[in-house]
C-alpha cells in the first residue's frame, strides 16, 4: 500500500512480542502513520509520542 496522507499521525506501539511489534510497525509506517516508538513495556510517561 502507498501512503497518501499529507500529515502523519504519530503512534507509539507497546507489545511484548517482538515479531508482532516489528511487523505492525512496518504496516503502520507503510500506511500513513509515523511509529515514533515500539517497546515491550508500558512507558512511565507519554514521551514515546
Partner 1 sequence: MLIDIALRDRWTSGSDVARLTDGGSRVVVLTGFASHDRIDELILAGALSVISKEVSTSDLLATLDDALSNDFDITPLIASALASSPNPQLIELSPQEARVLALYGSGMKLVAVAHHLGISVNTVKEYLRRVRRKLAEIDRPATTQLDLNREARRHGVLPD
Identify whether the C-beta of residue 34 lies closer than 8 Å to the C-beta of residue 11.
yes
Identify whether the C-beta of residue 36 lies closer than 8 Å to the C-beta of residue 43.
no
Taking the complex as a whole, how short is the minimal distance between the CB of residue 40 and partner 1, in angstroms?
A: 7
Taking the complex as a whole, how short is the minimal distance between the CB of residue 20 and partner 1, in angstroms?
A: 7
Instruction: Give me the residues that bind partner 1 (CB under 8 A), please.
Output: 9, 11-17, 20, 24, 27, 31, 33, 40-42, 45-46, 48-49
Taking the complex as a whole, how short is the minimal distance between the CB of residue 1 and partner 1, in angstroms?
A: 9
Identify whether the C-beta of residue 9 lies closer than 8 Å to the C-beta of residue 36.
no
Amino acid at each position: 500500500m502507498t501512503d497518501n496522507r499529507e500529515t502523519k499521525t504519530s503512534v507509539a506501539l507497546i507489545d511484548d512480542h517482538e515479531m508482532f511489534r516489528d511487523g505492525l510497525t512496518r504496516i503502520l509506517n507503510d500506511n500513513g502513520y509515523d511509529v515514533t516508538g515500539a517497546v515491550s513495556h508500558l512507558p512511565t510517561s507519554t514521551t514515546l509520542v
